[in-house]
Structure 1
Amino acid sequence: MTTETHATAGSQAPGMPVVVDGRLRSTNPGTGALVGEYPVAGPGEVRAAVTRARGAADWWGGLGFAGRAERLRRWAAALARRMPELARVVHADGGKPVSDALLEVTAAVEHVAWSARNARRVLGPRRVGGSLLMPDMGAVVEYQPFGVVGVIGPWNYPVFTPLGSIAYALAAGNAVVFKPSEYTPAVGQWLVDSFAEVVSDAPVFQVVHGLGDTGAALCGSGVDKVAFTGSTRTGKRVMAACAETLTPVLVECGGKDAMIVDADADLDDAADAACWAGMSNAGQTCVGIERVYVLDAVADEFVAKLKANAEALTVGDEDADLGPITMPGQVDIIRRHITDAVERGGTVVLGGPDAVQPPYVHPTILLDVPEDAAAVREETFGPTLTVTRVPSLDEAVRRANATPYGLGSSVFSRRRAMATARRLRSGMTSVNSAMAFVALPSLPFGGVGDSGFGRIHGADGLREFTRPKAIARRRFRTPLPVLSFRRGRRTDEFVQRLVRFLHGRG
């Protein structure tokens, strides 16, 4: 659902996806080296993939929890053995340093294994409480797979993020048709190929490549649910497309995540976490920290520690701390945010406008930027942090919540950490850490407001890819039939007395 880009091979900018003769060309954003070419799937090809998936879903669902878990465990084992190989593909496709890519793959393997291990426990049939009004009825809830799930993945975490939908959808019994980002098609192809080596019986997990039109085709292809990760603007377009057929959607969009540093915080840990969560993956992280609100009493010391951490980072190719900006157009947004912040009175602690050196952006820290500046209000998606001094914890919470986004957040405090975490308007919060919720497979992942809705990961993530099925089963004949024209006055009077006894006393 992104803007289409067509160009000739000779005019392709490093990292910019182009379609040449019906094939999507992927290049490394740092070096411009060709990574691969992949056939673009039009509406017909997308519908054909969904049709194949429909048949595969019947077979896959018929395996039951045990059969699916065994195959998913074998896939997780294969991913674990081949982590360095996959990390190299991630680096080549998106420019991410190999160390960052390895960390991403590690977390992804954990989630595949968790979904396989816990699907039966979470989704298996369970008895639920009945009613005294109808003691003859038993109640059971089952969770049935949708059938075919379409997944539209992002480029910034091309393994971890889509697998948060794919693995859980598969564990729940669905087949998956995956449209990877046009910026990282090689990663998407690698994931599907590796799964096919383990599960070759049916096309349970397929890939369709292309630009925005391919994503739009997937939304209208007859899939039973769409899981999307990307910008808020594109998420709205996905929702609109799916609304035409009442196809349910899971939407995980951007963020403008804040960290609060209390006066009693461990400043060494807070500075380290802010630096890592704000700068890793060159700041291209939807749950990365972009804003820090620190109490006046410790602000100077915190800023000094943060600067020392950030200025030690290296910027460059595969072995650096920070790699290139994957989307060439994002460089202009980062530059605009930094320039606007400085022009409006923000203080440059590190970096600044000169830090933007395409395709790289060097670490930038800006102090006391006005709250209505773009660098504070809009998602920057670069290695930048705005740090703002505040007089109180209440003011820090107010400012942290003053955004339409609500994805992740972080709190560093000793005495007031948990209470503050509960006050933050976000789907996830890390206490005395940053982004820790990402690495815990049992926790649901998702946001509120402009950050989207629905959840991946954990038990909520498994249920997200199922339909709850309610079953009421009659166990014996009752002398007082409620749901029948045979009930008569005696039954009506008894039911009224029972209801008054149960509920009429306040």
Structure 2
Amino acid sequence: MSATAADSTATTAAPPAGDFASLSPRTGEELARYPVHDGEHVRSAVRAAAEAAQWWGGLGFDERRRRLAAWKKVLVAQLDRVARVVADETGKPMDDARLEVVLAIDHLDWASANAKKVLGKRSVSPGLLMANQAATVAYRPLGVVGVIGPWNYPVFTPMGSIAYALAAGNTVVFKPSELTPGVGHEIARTLAEAVPEVGRYPLFTVVTGLGPTGAELCRAPGIGKIAFTGSAATGRRVMAACAENLVPVLMECGGKDPLIVDADADLDAAADAAVWGGMSNAGQTCVGVERVYVVESVAGRFLEKVRTAASRLQVGTAAQEGDLGPMTMPSQTEIVRRHVTDALEKGGRAIVGGADSVPAQGGAISPVVIADVPEDSVAVTEETFGPLVVVNRVPDVDEAVRRANATGYGLGATVFSARRGERIAEQLRCGMVSINGVISFAGIPSLPFGGVGESGFGRIHGADGLREFTRAQSVARQRFPIPLVVTSFRRTARTMQALTGIVKARHGR
């Protein structure tokens, strides 16, 4: 669930004072100050992490699992403390912050419990021609993984890389968003409480700063991989920096995720999913619902249910939490305003809210639902990353699928259909689909999470997420010699005739 449209991970210039403030989105007050780490500090952190990786990788799966299980217990015991920091730095309601930490704990548990089964050495068939060989494959850690995290889900999203990288035997250097540095330090603090050896072996190091700090992490000698979450535009700059040293990258980028409502859908559930998927976390969810395509025959009833549900939502204030918090990044407000204005100017109908829902400068945005928006509106073509949902009618599901696929994005999608959910899902160009639910895939640790196209590449979560932070190592061991020696200058013409005869007999039928 990535911070995308307005992330500033690699774009903001460093302040002259050498540190920066973490501010409350609710009140604007300063929460704490953090250093802007320069290149030498980042390189030193990577060097220390590389030394620690020798110890951590050498422990083996069982010992790593024991220590990660201890970390899980600390996170459970201190769930509210960690969630409080999340809520303070992002502005999201406390229960939303708790949910984020709960999901991160579940993923940590799955990664540590399944790493040995997924990554441990296993035998594979050598085939007929190489029957005298014993063949095995194992997945070895990369060493040091650099993680550049987002601000919208500052625990859950980076833990999809951090937990899986640690379980695979790597150490991690984490650069949190400059909007949520305190969350990064909370993650580090809880791990240090759980694993006493962290004082000697820095398994997890936090470096703070703005864009240049992230760039230094990409270029640091010794980095085995960078896992980035943010916009496609910033992702391209991260990839360019990593290319200097041929550092592989995992890209979690943005989305413009559709929700398709079939004629036989449960409209109450679909409307609830559209409102939650589009408005929770103030719409700042890369796999949130931004576009809805509803079959014409049920569109009127569906829109009325959406209107009712969205109109009930309360926006929080500095003094009291609501269903929605403020925008974490104030500059994102201008993007939301531009999208709302364009949708209305091009003929869209405001069902809930409108241009007046978006404040002039930062703060909280009231829910906005606009129907019948032309497909060339930026509210349909660009990621909004705010509490705006566009609902468009379509004649049938085939047209809904065509429109859903008609963007460069391909992250997640949602389908509501009583009979055709699986068939519709198979036609969607995206990495994940929820059927008769919303964002369900993100909460299932065994399912890989990631996108295609402008939404990035690579996967976190699941077995694919564990393998993402390893290198496959194949080993072939000769068990006994065979008379047909072909990989030697001692081979004869008769040997090659016998070999080709075997191949023709086996594969030429």
| 19-28 vs 431-440, which moves further | 19-28
1:312 maps to a residue whose letter is R
Q: Is 1:261–1:294's contact at 8 Å kept on the other side of the alignment? A: yes
Provide the secondary structure at the position in 2 that maps to 1:88.
helix
2:327 maps to a residue whose letter is I
1:236-266 CA-partner distances (Å, limit 9, x unpaired) = 1111111111100000000000000000000
- Give the TM-score normalised by the residue count of structure 1: 0.96
Provide the secondary structure at the position in 2 that maps to 1:360.
coil
Please tell me whether residue 312 in structure 1 is matched to residue 280 in structure 2: no
How far is the alpha carbon of 1:487 from its aligned partner?
Answer: 2.5
Q: Which residue number corresponds to residue 9 of structure 1?
A: none
| 133-142 vs 115-124, which moves further | 133-142
How far is the alpha carbon of 1:475 from its aligned partner?
Answer: 0.6
Q: Is 2:13–2:211's contact at 8 Å kept on the other side of the alignment? A: no
Distance 2:130 2:427 in 1: 42
Please tell me whether residue 62 in structure 1 is matched to residue 58 in structure 2: yes
2:109 maps to a residue whose letter is A
Please tell me whether residue 430 in structure 1 is matched to residue 438 in structure 2: no
1:290 maps to a residue whose letter is E
1:209 maps to a residue whose letter is T
Q: Which residue number corresponds to residue 183 of structure 1?
A: 179
Provide the secondary structure at the position in 1 that maps to 2:33.
strand
Q: Which residue number corresponds to residue 340 of structure 2?
A: 338
1:395 maps to a residue whose letter is E
2:255 maps to a residue whose letter is G
Q: Which residue number corresponds to residue 253 of structure 1?
A: 253
2:11 pairs with one of 3, 8, 14: 3
How far is the alpha carbon of 1:46 from its aligned partner?
Answer: 0.2
Q: Which residue number corresponds to residue 283 of structure 2?
A: 283
2:372 pairs with one of 368, 374, 377: 368
Q: Which residue number corresponds to residue 267 of structure 1?
A: 267
1:461 pairs with one of 455, 462, 465: 465
Q: Which residue number corresponds to residue 105 of structure 2?
A: 109
Aligned length: 493
Distance 1:416 1:36 in 2: 51
How far is the alpha carbon of 1:313 from its aligned partner?
Answer: 0.7
Distance 2:135 2:490 in 1: 23
Q: Is 1:99–1:319's contact at 8 Å kept on the other side of the alignment? A: no
How far is the alpha carbon of 1:199 from its aligned partner?
Answer: 2.0
Distance 2:196 2:55 in 1: 12
Q: Is 1:232–1:254's contact at 8 Å kept on the other side of the alignment? A: yes
2:158 maps to a residue whose letter is P
Q: Is 2:262–2:295's contact at 8 Å kept on the other side of the alignment? A: yes
Q: Which residue number corresponds to residue 133 of structure 2?
A: 137
Q: Is 1:24–1:209's contact at 8 Å kept on the other side of the alignment? A: no
Question: What residue ranges of structure 2 are gaps of 5+ in the alignment?
Answer: 1-8
How far is the alpha carbon of 1:20 from its aligned partner?
Answer: 6.2
Distance 2:236 2:10 in 1: 12
Provide the secondary structure at the position in 2 that maps to 1:236.
helix
| 411-420 vs 478-487, which moves further | 478-487
Q: Is 1:314–1:320's contact at 8 Å kept on the other side of the alignment? A: yes
Distance 2:403 2:108 in 1: 37
1:39-78 CA-partner distances (Å, limit 9, x unpaired) = 1110000000000000000000011000100111111111
Distance 2:185 2:30 in 1: 15
| 159-168 vs 479-488, which moves further | 479-488
1:381 pairs with one of 385, 388, 412: 385
Distance 1:331 1:239 in 2: 28
Q: Which residue number corresponds to residue 220 of structure 1?
A: 219
Q: Which residue number corresponds to residue 126 of structure 1?
A: 122
Q: Is 2:21–2:33's contact at 8 Å kept on the other side of the alignment? A: yes
How far is the alpha carbon of 1:131 from its aligned partner?
Answer: 2.0
Distance 2:191 2:481 in 1: 51
1:153-189 CA-partner distances (Å, limit 9, x unpaired) = 0000000000000000000000000000001000011
- Give the TM-score normalised by the residue count of structure 2: 0.96
Distance 1:297 1:155 in 2: 40
Distance 1:2 1:292 in 2: 32
Q: Which residue number corresponds to residue 76 of structure 2?
A: 80
1:415 pairs with one of 402, 415, 419: 419
Q: Is 1:151–1:177's contact at 8 Å kept on the other side of the alignment? A: yes
1:314 maps to a residue whose letter is Q
Q: Is 1:232–1:452's contact at 8 Å kept on the other side of the alignment? A: yes
Alignment RMSD (CA, Å)? 1.0
Q: Percent identity?
A: 58
Q: Is 2:18–2:36's contact at 8 Å kept on the other side of the alignment? A: yes
1:487 maps to a residue whose letter is R
Q: Is 1:134–1:482's contact at 8 Å kept on the other side of the alignment? A: no
| 457-466 vs 84-93, which moves further | 84-93
Q: Which residue number corresponds to residue 244 of structure 1?
A: 244
Runs of 4+ in 1 over 4 A off after TM superposition: none
1:218 maps to a residue whose letter is L
1:88 maps to a residue whose letter is R
Question: What residue ranges of structure 1 are gaps of 5+ in the alignment?
Answer: 7-18
1:393 pairs with one of 378, 393, 397: 397
Q: Is 1:407–1:427's contact at 8 Å kept on the other side of the alignment? A: yes
